[in-house]
Amino acid sequence: MYKIDADFVEAVSHSDEFNANACMHCGNCTASCPMGLELLPRKLFRYVVVGLEKMVVENAETIYSCLLCKMCEESCPADVHIAGNVKKLRNYINTKYYKL
- Distance (Å, whole) CA 98 – CA 2: 23
Contact 29/76 with Cβ under 8 angstroms? yes
- Distance (Å, whole) CA 31 – CA 34: 9
What is the closest distance, in whole angstroms, from the C-beta atom of residue 43 to another protein in the complex? 7
> Contact residues for another protein (CB under 8 A)?
1-4, 6, 9, 13-14, 19, 21-22, 25, 43, 46-47, 49-52, 55
Contact 24/78 with Cβ under 8 angstroms? yes
With CA atoms as reference, report the closest residue to 76 among 36, 19, 14: 19
2 vs 64, beta carbon nearer another protein: 2
4 vs 100, beta carbon nearer another protein: 4
Q: What is the largest CA-CA distance in the chain?
A: 36
40 vs 66, beta carbon nearer another protein: 40
What is the closest distance, in whole angstroms, from the C-beta atom of residue 12 to another protein in the complex? 11
What is the closest distance, in whole angstroms, from the C-beta atom of residue 21 to another protein in the complex? 4
What is the closest distance, in whole angstroms, from the C-beta atom of residue 88 to another protein in the complex? 15
